Amino acid sequence: MTTTAALPVAPPFSIRARMLTPLDDGGVRHEPDALIVVDAAGRISFAGPAAIGPAVELGAAVDLRPWVVLPGMVDLHAHLPQLPNAGLGAGLDLLTWLERYIFPLERGFDEAEAERLAPLAWQAFAASGTTTALVYGAVYEASLDATFRAAEAHGIRAIVGKVMMDRITYDETIDPSTILERSLRETADLIARWHGRDDNRLRYAVTPRFAVSCTADLLRESAALASSTGAYWQTHVSEDRGEIAEVARLFPEARDYVDVYDRAGALGARTVLAHAVHLSDPELARLVETDTRIAHCPASNLFLASGVMPLGRYLEAGLGIGLGSDVAGGPDLSIFTAMRVGAYAKNALEVAGRGAGPALSPLDWLRIGTLGGARALGLGDRIGSVEVGKEADLIAIDPSFVAPVPGTTDDAAEDLMSRLIFRAHPDMVRAAWVRGRGLEGPGARG
C-alpha cells in the first residue's frame, strides 16, 4: 500500500492510479491503469492508459494503485462558521434551528475565532474530497479576511462571502440605520482585496443571507455590486414552507419567492441559489430563462424536514445544478453524502408517485458533484474532470475503505462509483490536490 509520505505535494509530477472521470463532451472515462501527468503550472498534460503514456513520466510516476483518482468534488453551498455544529439540532424547523443553533455560533465568529476555525475547516473540506467550495462566512469583515487568508495558505479553491443581513441581524453593536451602507462598503472592500487572488483560485460571492433577513434595497444594491465587480451572488431560495410564507408577507409586491430576487436584478449565470425545494412552474421557468444556477442540498433538506427537491423535473427543464453539503443544515461536508441522500430522496419521490425525469446512475451523480458544480460556477473549462488542459484539481481514494469484506474489488466503473456513494467512508479520501498542489486534510486520521 502506498504511504502518504510518497504523495506528490507540488507540481510537476505524475501519478499512476485507477482513474474515473466525467468528460466534457459527455460520458465517462474509466482507466483501470492510468497515468496522469501534471505540468509545472499545475495543468494536466496527459491523462490516459499508462501503456501509451510518455515513457519518462511513467518511469517517474508515483504509483498509487489500487487507489482511484477522481476530479475533486465541488461543494456549491456550505456555511463555514457553522461547521462545529454539524449534526446538531435534528427535529427542528428551519427558522427555530437558525435561532437556537446557528445565530449564536455565527455571532461568535469574530476574527480570532475565524483564525482558529478556518484552517481546520478547509482541511475538513479537503479530507471529505472537496477541492472547490462556495461558502458563506458570518457578518464580520475581519473574520472574512481571516477566512480568505486561511484558504490562501491551505490551497483549496474557495469562493467566500460575508453574510449580509439588514432586517434581522445577530450583531447588536451595529446601529440598524447604518447596516445597509456598512454591509455594502465592507463587501466592496473584501471584493477589492480577495476577488481573483492567486489567478482566480480565490473569488468573492456577494452573500445576502436570504429574503427574510434582507430588505429589497439590500438585495438590489448587493446584486448591482456583484455585477459591477464580476463577483458571484449567492443566497437561499424556497427552502422551507414557513420561510416561503414569511417571504410572501415581507414582499407583497412580488409574484413569488424567485420574483423577489428577480426584481432585485439578481438572477443570472453568476448567481447560485441554494435549495429551491418548492419552486412553482413559473419560478422554475424564470430560473432556466435567466441561466441562474442551483445548489441542490438534499441532506440538509431532509435533516431540517424542508422538503424534497424534484431534481428530475429540474434537470428535464434544463436548470444548471450542482450539489451542496449545506453544513450545518447538512450534517456532513462530504459531497458523496449529498449524492447518496440525493439518490435516496429521488427514489422516495418515485415511490410517492412524484418521480419525473431521467433515472440517475452512480456515474450521473459523479458528474453532478464534479463537472456539474464546476459548470454552475462557470469553471467547467478549468476544472470538474480529469482531462488534458484542465487544472489538476484531483482526489485519490482508497477503495478498500468501501469494500464490504476485505478483498472485494469492483472492476466496473459504475460498481466502483456506487460503492463510493452508498458506502462512503469518512477516511476514504487519501489525497487531494488543487492545481497539483497537495492539500492538507486527507489522511490525517489514519
Helix or strand holding residue 376 (H, E)? helix 373-376
Of the listed pieces 83-91, 183-191, 253-261, 322-330, which binds Zn ion according to CB under 5 A?
322-330
Q: Which stretch binds Zn ion (CB under 5 A): 38-46, 175-183, 203-211, 320-328?
A: 320-328
By beta carbon distance, the residue nearest Zn ion is 326
We find the least distance from the C-beta atom of residue 335 to Zn ion, in angstroms, to be 15
Q: What are phi and psi of 54, to 5 degrees?
A: -60, 130
Q: Which is nearer to Zn ion, 118 or 304 (CB)?
A: 304
**Local structure of residue 439 (DSSP, 8 states):** P
Closer CB to Zn ion, residue 166 or residue 326?
326
To the nearest whole angstrom, how small is the minimum distance from the Cβ of residue 326 to Zn ion?
Answer: 5
Min dist. Cβ of residue 329 to Zn ion (A): 5
* Min dist. Cβ of residue 93 to Zn ion (A): 14
The one-letter amino acid code at 25 reads D
What residues contact 443, with CB distance under 8 A and at least 6 apart? Answer: 4, 127, 427, 429, 430, 431
Least distance in Å: CB of 300 to Zn ion?
A: 7
- Minimum Å distance from CB 163 to Zn ion? 10
Task: Decide whether 57 or 243 has the Cβ nearer to Zn ion.
Answer: 243
Q: Strand, helix or coil at 196?
A: coil
Q: Which is nearer to Zn ion, 14 or 325 (CB)?
A: 325
Cα(205)–Cα(134) distance, rounded to whole angstroms? 8
Among 153-161, 326-334, 397-405, 424-432, which window interacts with Zn ion (CB under 5 A)? 326-334
Report the C-alpha gap between 18 and 70 in whole angstroms: 9
Nearest distance from C-beta of residue 205 to Zn ion, angstroms: 12
Is residue 106 at the binding interface for Zn ion, with CB under 5 A as the rule? no
Nearer residue to Zn ion within complex by CB, 38 or 247: 247
Other C-beta atoms within 10 Å of 87: how many? Answer: 12
What distance in Å separates the CA atoms of residue 80 and residue 121, rounded to the nearest whole number? Answer: 7
Interface with Zn ion in residues 73-102 (CB under 5 A): none
Nearer to Zn ion by C-beta: 161 or 312?
Answer: 161
Closest by alpha carbon to 100, among 112, 114, 85? 85
* DSSP secondary structure code for residue 23 in this structure: -
Question: Omega of the bond prior to 404 within 30 degrees of 0, cis?
Answer: no
Site for Zn ion in 225-284 (CB under 5 A): none
Looking at the Cβ atoms of 330 and 442, the one nearer to Zn ion is 330
- Give the nearer residue to Zn ion in terms of CB position, either 326 or 398: 326
Q: Name the grid cell of 318.
A: 434544463
CA dist 377 and 179 (Å) reads: 29
> By the 8 A CB rule, do 442 and 64 touch?
no
Please tell me whether residue 326 binds Zn ion under the rule CB under 5 A. yes
Residue with C-alpha cell 463532451?
25
Helix (H, G, I), strand (E, B) or coil at 32: strand
Residue 274 CB, shortest distance to Zn ion, in Å, is 5
Q: Which is nearer to Zn ion, 303 or 433 (CB)?
A: 303
Q: Return the DSSP state at 178.
A: G
Size of site (CB under 5 A) for Zn ion: 1
Q: Least distance to Zn ion from the beta carbon of 106, Å? A: 12
Beta bridge partners of 17: 34
Give strand pairing partners of 268: none
One DSSP character per residue, 76-123 reads EEEEGGGGGGTT--TT--HHHHIIIIIHHHHHT--HHHHHHHHHHHHH
> Closer CB to Zn ion, residue 334 or residue 418?
334
**CB under 5 A: which stretch of 32-40, 215-223, 259-267, 321-329 binds Zn ion?**
321-329
Of 56-64, 144-152, 324-332, 380-388, which part binds Zn ion (CB under 5 A)?
Answer: 324-332
What CA–CA distance (Å, rounded) separates 303 from 333? 14
Nearer to Zn ion, 209 or 430 (CB): 209
Minimum gap (Å) between residue 44 Cβ and Zn ion: 32
Q: Cis omega (within 30 of 0) on the bond before 413?
A: no
For residue 120, the minimal CB distance to Zn ion (Å) is 20
The answer to whether 31 contacts Zn ion (rule: CB under 5 A) is no
Q: What CA–CA distances, in Å, run from 287 to 7, 276, 298, 406, 429?
A: 43, 10, 19, 47, 35
Q: Kindly list the residues in this chain that would bind Zn ion in the complex (CB under 5 A).
A: 326
